[in-house]
Amino acid sequence: MSPDDDRMFMRLALAQAQVAALAGEVPVGAMVVRAGQVVASAHNAPLGDTDPTAHAEVNAIRAAAQALGNYRLDDCTLYVTLEPCAMCSGAALHARFKRVVFGAHEPKTGAAGSVLNVFGYPQLNHQTEVSGGVLAAECAQQLQHFFEDRRLQKQLHNQLHKTPLRDDALRTPDSAWQGLDLPTDLSCFTTDLPALQGLRLHWFDNLKSASTASFNALSETSFSLGSEAAPEVYLHGPDTWSAAYMAELAGPRPAIALDLPGFGASDKPKKDKAHSLAWHAQVLVEFFAQLQPAPVALYAPHSMAPLVHAAQALWTTHQREPLHLQWLNARSALTAALREAPYPDTGHRAGPRALSALLVTPPFTPHRSTGA
């Protein structure tokens, strides 16, 4: 096989590794190739198969032996994205592979030269040629991203359960987010705003990713949103939530999609009467204040005009930087699953009910004191 062939088959193994990652398995993929043709492909599956031996290499070896009708694979090459462990190296030797080609080195358990070299014993009655480091950076990056995401989800899950819930509020359960394609790494919370009085406010933001340009666990962060660039803050309507702005969050511009209290993944007061335009406007203004010194650009649907005007009035009263407003046309409808996810029962719907009623009332006018 030429170096180009090795890279081509390693890319196929990387695709198998991605299948493993999507299944929650450590992303390792393997291919068995004979005379330039793929005989078998497989990925890591010990969790799914409840089998500690179900590594990508072992699964590929088993599939190849079945396909060829022979447990001897002496005219085949095994490609794998991660340096084989002792078990898989031994299996490759027993299968009599002509070559083993791997991608990333494994400094903790690698048995093809990193920790030990199972293939390096001349006393054995079969010798397998080993080539390592093929597309090593890509293979290592795939693993790195997987473990970073797993650590992040664990951290966020732990943070989620450290945040107390007020007795008069509800919180959408973790199970409601299962199976939804929501960007966990963009999800943030705070309880720091005075107007929240301990309620947890949620938003998505791409500020980190945008500066350089999948919702089963959520994060708790203190504000560190100050930026020279003005972030675009997107406000949902009374019948939707921040998930409506996934396209904007995926774009190159700094964007924030906020959930008002009672909506999306924010805490939800149980009673309709807890909601008022004045309160929601105060929450917005306090949130906007954390984005300074950059000017704030607010994008909102026309249906939210009474609330937006109330927030504008408060903002002007405090004589901060101008609040730049852009009205949006009606948003594309969320899928039914996404639209309903935050509201597993009627008790969670006080926010949408109350705000829908409040938005048909006259706009809020802030009280202005008359100085001496």
Tokens of 10: 């390693």
155 and 91 housed in the same domain: no
Q: How many domains does the chain have?
A: 2
CA distances from 113 to 81, 127, 132, 133 (A): 15, 14, 9, 11
Would you give the end-to-end CA distance of the chain in angstroms? 89
Instruction: Return the CATH number at 290.
Output: 3.40.50.1820
Tell me, yes or no, whether 372 lies in a domain. Answer: no
Q: Are residues 80 and 206 in the same domain?
A: no
> Considering 78, 108, 135, which residue would you say is the last residue of a domain?
135
pLDDT at 359: 93
Q: Give the span between the Cα atoms of 31 and 43, in whole angstroms.
A: 9
Residue 371 lies in a domain: no
196 and 343 part of one domain? yes
The 10s digit of each residue's pLDDT in 218-258 is 334 434 444 445 689 999 999 999 999 999 998 888 999 99
Pair (27, 176) in one structural domain: no
- Same domain flag for 325 and 199: yes
In this structure, the answer to whether residues 160 and 93 fall within a common structural domain is: no
Cα distances (angstroms) measured from residue 273 to each of 8, 103, 168, 351, 352: 63, 60, 12, 9, 12
**In this structure, how many other beta carbons lie within 10 angstroms of the beta carbon of residue 224?**
8
Within a domain: 179: yes
In a domain, 143, yes or no: no
Q: What is the domain range of residue 155?
A: 151-358
Tell me if residue 68 falls in helix, strand or coil.
helix
State the pLDDT at residue 215. 37
Per-residue pLDDT at 72: 96
Catalytic site residues? 57
288 token code pair = 């906007």
Tokens of 102: 């791997």
DSSP 128: -
Q: How far apart are CA 117 and CA 101, in angstroms?
A: 14
Last residue of a domain, one of 71, 105, 135: 135
Confidence of residue 208 (pLDDT cuts 50, 70, 90): low
Domain co-membership, 187 together with 102: no
Last residue of a domain, one of 108, 135, 162: 135
Q: Are residues 92 and 156 in the same domain?
A: no
Residues 302 and 163 in one domain: yes
Query: Phi/psi at 233 (nearest 5 deg)?
Result: -100, 120
Burial of 123: CB neighbours in 10 Å, binned 0-12, 13-18, 19+: exposed
Per the domain annotation, does 363 fall within a domain? Answer: no
Query: What is the reported pLDDT for 184?
Result: 78
Q: Which residue has the higher pLDDT, 163 or 175?
A: 175
Collapsing DSSP to helix, strand or coil, 124 comes out as: coil
**CB-based contact 55:46 (threshold 8 Å):** yes
Report residue 325 as tokens: 């407003």
Specify the pTM. 0.55
81 Cβ neighbours under 8 A, 6+ residues apart = 10, 13, 14, 16, 17, 27, 28, 29, 30, 56, 102, 103, 104, 135, 139, 142, 143
Shared domain for 255 and 300, answered yes or no, is yes
Which amino acid, one-letter code, is at 141? Q
**Is 146 part of any domain?**
no
Same-domain pairing of 129 and 155: no
Residue 213 has what pLDDT?
Answer: 36
**Shared domain check, 57 and 7:** yes
pLDDT over 90 (residue 164): no
